[in-house]
Structure 1
Amino acid sequence: MAGLTSAIYSTFIHRNAVYLSTIFLGAFAFEIGYDVASNKIWDAMNRGRQWKDIKARYMQAEEEDDE
Structure 2
Amino acid sequence: MAPSTLLGRVYSVFFRRTSTFALTIAVGVLFFERAFDQGGDAIYESINQGKLWKHIKHKYEEE
Which TM-score bucket, shorter chain as reference?
Answer: 0.7 to 0.9
Secondary structure of the residue that 2:60 maps to in structure 1? helix
- Higher radius of gyration, 1 or 2: 1
For residues 25-36 of structure 1, the aligned pairs below 5 Å read: 25-36=27-38
Of all paired residues, the percent bearing the same amino acid is: 32
Secondary structure of the residue that 1:59 maps to in structure 2? coil
Match of 1:44 in 2: 46
CA-CA distance at 1:9 after TM superposition: 1.9
Is 1:3 equivalent to 2:4 in the alignment?
Answer: yes
| Structure 2, unaligned runs of 5 or more | none
- Cα distance in 1, alignment partners of residues 8 and 43 from structure 2: 40
Q: Number of aligned residue pairs: give it.
A: 60
TM-score, L = length of structure 1: 0.79
Is 1:20 equivalent to 2:18 in the alignment?
Answer: no
**Greater helix fraction, Structure 1 or Structure 2:** 1
TM-score, L = length of structure 2: 0.83
